[in-house]
Amino acid sequence: MESEPTLTRKQFDLLEALATAAGPLTQRQLEEQTGYSLGTINKLAKEMAAEGLLADGRITPAGLAALEPYRAKRAVFIAAGFGTRLVPVTLNTPKPLVRVHGKRMIDGLIDACLAAGINEIYVVRGYLAEQFDQLLYKYPMIKFLENPSYNEANNISSAVCARYLMQNAYVFEADLLISNPAIIKKYHYTSDVLGIWKERTDDWCLTVDREGFLDEEKVGGLNCYQMVGIYYWNAADGAKLADHLQEAYLAPGGKERYWETVPNQVYRGQYRVRVRPCEETDIVEIDTFRELKAIDKTYDV
């Protein structure tokens, strides 16, 4: 039976840095990576060596076992929608399969998952579902979930289809163009969501509390994080979310919801989701055909 999460935040940060590094790290390098002082690093290293989590400055098998409850184990892609705003390209192709500079958008996300050791991958499909079969030639590990309600409900219907798979799991909007695969991490101390800092935005955005946890989700704001459609749910939150998604979906007006408003609005205050900052150069959501043409000139004909 898998052990429960027991590490402190500082212990986790130190073990994660060592577990994901290409080689051994000096205390100075650990200071740079974690943001902790050399004194804190030295004290932590001694304590964790005494617990058997470190030896000679390296992570031990016991240290890796202690990280295991924090490991991302699967990825769920929400990919059932019409992609209306990308017409005419999406008239014959689901939006996640649209090619940008010759590569399907969803491929970059899947490749980032595989690079992070996430090999259990699910795609929730609906519109032109059979076209997603082409992914199996490159990614034979993919499993498909069918959303029979994609044409009569918002993306909450796709999340409901995958609700029992959201523990220790990434949940992706499948139409994001990723440039920095390193933002998909192997280990997570808490549930989190990616966000891009904005002084002003008219898009969906997130405000945070003093500890960096999500406080409010809204449309438009000042000094907030523009929401990127990539969430990670730990085991406890993922189990709770399965029930909450179903309850919200069956409630009056539930089919019109976006899935992420369930934890962020309907059940606000019942989740601790850290906003994990990323840069505009890391990832972009291509919303419209105009934006697609601006990024890939082959569509500008």
Which residue from 104, 148, 284, 103 is spatially nearest to 94, judged by alpha carbons? 104
Structure tokens at 98: 């649209």
Q: Which residues lie below 8 Å from residue 275, measured CB to CB, with a gap of 6+?
A: 192, 193, 194, 195, 206, 208, 212, 213, 214, 225
Q: To which H or E segment does residue 63 belong? A: helix 61-67
Domain boundaries, the chain: 9-69, 71-299
How far does CA 219 lie from the centroid of its chain? Answer: 20
285 in Cβ contact with 175 (< 8 Å): yes
Cα distances from 179 to residues 98, 200, 201, 211, 233, in angstroms, run 16, 23, 22, 28, 23
Structure tokens at 116: 């992070």
The pLDDT value recorded for residue 214 is 95
Pairing verdict, β 99-100 and 103-104: antiparallel
d(CA 296, CA 286): 11
The CATH code of the domain at 9-69 is 1.10.10.10
pLDDT tens, N- to C-terminus, the chain (301 residues): 456 778 999 999 999 999 988 777 888 888 888 899 999 999 999 999 999 999 888 899 999 999 999 999 999 999 999 888 888 888 999 999 999 999 999 999 999 999 999 999 999 999 999 999 999 999 999 999 999 999 999 999 999 999 999 999 999 999 899 999 999 999 999 999 999 999 999 999 999 999 999 999 999 999 999 999 999 999 999 999 999 999 999 999 999 999 999 999 999 999 999 999 999 999 998 888 999 999 999 988 7
The pLDDT value recorded for residue 2 is 55
d(CA 190, CA 207): 17
Q: Which fold has domain 71-299?
A: Spore Coat Polysaccharide Biosynthesis Protein SpsA; Chain A (3.90.550)
The pLDDT value recorded for residue 1 is 45
217 in Cβ contact with 239 (< 8 Å): no
Residue 132 sits at the vertex; the CA angle it makes with 126 and 138, to the nearest 5 degrees, is 155
pTM of the model: 0.94
R_g over Cα of the chain: 20
